[in-house]
Structure 1
Amino acid sequence: MPAIDPDLKRAIVRLPENEKDKLLLRLITKDALLLERLQFELIEHGQTVDERRMVIREFIDRTVRLKQDSAGWIMMDMRTISGYITRHGKVTKDKYGEVELGIYMLNSFFEERPDQLRTYNSRTDKCALYIAKRTDQLLKKLLKLDPDYFVEFADDMNSLLQRVHTFCSAHYARQLGLPKEFE
């Protein structure tokens, strides 16, 4: 973002209030993420985090039940869901929810699509790498949370790590140095 010239900055500050409002509204409409964040903070007063998490959880459940016939399709669906989870985090600043939903997504795919994710081969290579990297990201985000939350995530994270080290992603899990157990 370019720096604002000090003279321009002073001129903008001196603008009449209604002109500033018009400019602000025109600028805000160009950034959908900012609009959603303002909606969350100003209209919803930050009180709809649980509802927003539930919507994403339901989307995960619907997506997992689709008939993905290959690991490639599964990976595309995971990436789509991950985009929604990331957007949720940017809008709500909900770090806990990002970790919870990410773990839930990966565990759901392992539970519902074990046949497509069981063995490593050329068709599962990209998906296996994605799963291992996503697990690594989730582990790092989890470790940044307050340690009091670790107990809440321990079972689900251990289940995920066990699957990551057992299914097609095992090779990449070893390469990334993922632990076999979360303590």
Structure 2
Amino acid sequence: MAKLEKELQQAIVSMPQKDKDKLLLRLIGKDEILIQQLIFTLVEEELTVESRREDIKIIIDTLYDTPVFSSGYLMMDMRYINAQITLHVKVTKDKYGEIELTLKLMKDCFEKQLKWIEKYNSKSDTLALYIVKRVDFILKKVVKLHPDIQFDFHADTNTLLGYVHKYGTAHYAREMGLPKTFEIAE
């Protein structure tokens, strides 16, 4: 993003309010994420974080309740949902929800679509690597939280780590140095 020169900043500030409003609305209209942030902050008054989280949980449940035809298709769908989680975080700044939703996405994969990741093979390789990288992402995010909040994720994180070290992802989990259990930081 280009930095505005002092002269231009002063010229913009001295513009009539009506012209600044028009310019502002035109610029906002070009940034979809900014529009979503403004809707969330100004229109919804930040009251919809929980309902937005629930909407993504429904999408996750729908993914895993629908028959999947290959590990490749499953991974594409998981990446799509992960992009929805990322958008949710950009709009709402919901760091707790980011961990909760990503944890659900990964854990439910083992619990509801295990056949695609149960054993390591060439077809599950890409999915296995993707899952281990997302688990590593979760661990890095969780340790940054207050210990009381880490406790909220302790059981699910340990369950997920157990799955990652037991099934077709075990090779990549060892390779990336994922712990077998998650301990709450003091």
User: TM-score range with shorter-chain normalisation?
Assistant: over 0.9
1:99 offset after TM fit, Å? 0.2
- For 1:8 and 1:151, locate their aligned partners in 2 and report how far apart those are by CA, in whole Å: 50
8 Å contact 1:40–1:48 — kept in the other structure?
yes
8 Å contact 1:60–1:105 — kept in the other structure?
yes
Residues 64-101 of structure 1: per-residue CA shift (max 9 Å, x gap):
11211211111111100100011111111110000000
1:41 offset after TM fit, Å? 0.7
Whichever residue aligns with residue 166 of structure 1, its letter is: K
Whichever residue aligns with residue 77 of structure 2, its letter is: D
1:26 offset after TM fit, Å? 0.4
8 Å contact 1:95–1:145 — kept in the other structure?
no
Residue matched to 2:132: 132
Whichever residue aligns with residue 104 of structure 2, its letter is: Y
Q: Percent identity?
A: 49
- For 1:61 and 1:125, locate their aligned partners in 2 and report how far apart those are by CA, in whole Å: 24
Residue matched to 1:87: 87
1:2 aligns with 2:11: no
Whichever residue aligns with residue 74 of structure 2, its letter is: I
Residue matched to 2:25: 25
- For 1:147 and 1:90, locate their aligned partners in 2 and report how far apart those are by CA, in whole Å: 24
Residue matched to 1:151: 151
1:109 offset after TM fit, Å? 1.2
Whichever residue aligns with residue 167 of structure 1, its letter is: Y
Residue matched to 1:107: 107
Superposition TM-score, scaled by structure 1 size: 0.98
8 Å contact 1:69–1:116 — kept in the other structure?
no
1:56 aligns with 2:73: no
1:63 offset after TM fit, Å? 1.1
- For 1:83 and 1:17, locate their aligned partners in 2 and report how far apart those are by CA, in whole Å: 37
Q: What secondary structure is seen at the aligned counterpart in 2 of 1:67?
A: coil
Whichever residue aligns with residue 108 of structure 1, its letter is: D
Whichever residue aligns with residue 119 of structure 1, its letter is: K
1:62 offset after TM fit, Å? 0.5
**Residue correspondences, number:** 183
8 Å contact 1:89–1:98 — kept in the other structure?
yes
Superposition TM-score, scaled by structure 2 size: 0.96
Residue matched to 2:42: 42
Superposition RMSD in Å: 0.8
1:72 aligns with 2:72: yes
- The more displaced of 63-72 and 32-41 is 63-72
